């Protein structure tokens, strides 16, 4: 019988436990396989026995249990995250502590993350624009609920087989309150985020970060989606590297303003500008449609993709 999962292998190392080592901690689950490993913890694909549905089990890094204030912070912040309910945000089903293990039980998103999509090849501009629009909707909702993500990056942007964006790990940087081991950052309990995607103020004034930091990160992701590159140093405008409307250049540059007061101030502002720039066009590119194994049924389209206000009623929701 396994009493404790082997989460550590030397100082600072987070070794994912074998699914069998977690059985006693989660008898309500049938844990199948490891989905991913990162500074936020490890994620497993599992089946919830009682409801016979697939779920994702995230186990938080073991070192957090040694922090004297973590239990109180977990109770406060995690419950706030669990209240988030939006089609473009990964749903938290349950959370808590089992033995020494802190965990989240979340909806299982059957698809890929944006990093995997980018590695498969640069996205067509119309596909990139639709994904950004969905991300804006998620950020607009979360910011309205008082939750800042602090780590928007391709790995945390999931796309299911129906083409829907699902943002994962909302608010976990604040909850964990540590500089994660996969980042070359400074000062535990202060700097939170991922290098190259972080807003300047996340490094300079990490305790004063607000929702505008997410908008800077969104600008980095947007640029990378359009060009296949990160906006480092003296970078080219997106329209010079991609067949995108040149009016997008100004929007991307505003998102990447170092001074948050000169940046776009709200996700809704970005969404409305993109809708005004793009207007109404044709349909989802065949390549992305094939990759996601999905055909939209709506005729109402934005950026070459169906308007989600129509597809939400016409398409079947992923059962998780």
Q: Are 65 and 100 spatial neighbours (Cβ–Cβ below 8 Å)? A: yes
Question: What are the structure tokens assigned to 52, written together?
Answer: 């016979």
Mark 140-163 as b/e (b = at least 16 C-beta within 10 Å): bbbbeeebbbbbbbbbbbbbbebb
Q: How many CB atoms within 10 Å of residue 121?
A: 10
Q: In this structure, what token pair is assigned to residue 132? A: 């950004």
Q: What one-character-per-residue DSSP string does 176-196 give?
A: H-S--TTS---TTTT--S-TT
Q: Which of 84, 34, 80, 88 is nearest to 59 (CA)?
A: 34
**From 151, 169, 214, 307, active-site residue:** 151
Contact of 117 with 111, CB cutoff 8 Å: no
Q: To which residue do tokens 């991922």 refer?
A: 194
151 is known as an active-site residue: yes
Task: Return the active site residues.
Answer: 151
């Amino acid at each position: 019988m396994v009493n404790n999962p082997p989460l550590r292998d030397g100082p600072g190392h987070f070794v994912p436990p074998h699914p069998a080592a977690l059985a006693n901690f989660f008898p309500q689950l049938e844990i199948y396989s490891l989905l991913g490993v990162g500074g936020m913890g490890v994620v497993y694909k599992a089946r919830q026995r009682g409801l016979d549905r697939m779920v994702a089990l995230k186990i938080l890094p073991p070192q957090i249990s040694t922090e004297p204030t973590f239990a109180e912070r977990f109770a406060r912040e995690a419950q706030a995250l669990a209240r988030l309910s939006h089609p473009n945000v990964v749903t938290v089903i349950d959370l808590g502590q089992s033995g020494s293990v802190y965990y989240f039980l979340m909806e299982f998103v059957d698809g890929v993350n944006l990093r995997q999509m980018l590695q498969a090849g640069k996205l067509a501009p119309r596909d990139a624009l639709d994904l950004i629009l969905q991300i804006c909707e998620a950020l607009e909702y979360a910011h309205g609920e008082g939750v800042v993500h602090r780590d928007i990056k391709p790995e945390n942007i999931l796309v299911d087989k129906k083409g829907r964006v699902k943002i994962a790990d909302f608010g976990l940087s604040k909850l964990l309150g540590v500089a994660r081991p996969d980042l070359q950052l400074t000062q535990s309990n202060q700097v939170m985020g991922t290098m190259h995607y972080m807003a300047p103020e996340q490094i300079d004034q990490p305790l004063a970060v607000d929702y505008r930091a997410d908008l800077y990160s969104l600008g980095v992701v947007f640029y990378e989606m359009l060009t296949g590159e990160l906006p480092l140093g003296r970078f080219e405008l997106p329209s010079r590297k991609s067949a995108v409307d040149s009016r997008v250049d100004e929007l991307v540059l505003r998102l990447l303003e170092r001074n948050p007061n000169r940046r776009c101030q709200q996700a809704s502002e970005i969404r409305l500008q993109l809708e005004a720039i793009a207007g109404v066009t044709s349909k989802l590119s065949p390549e992305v449609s094939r990759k996601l194994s999905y055909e939209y049924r709506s005729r109402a389209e934005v950026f070459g993709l169906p308007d989600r206000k129509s597809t939400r009623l016409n398409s079947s929701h992923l059962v998780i």
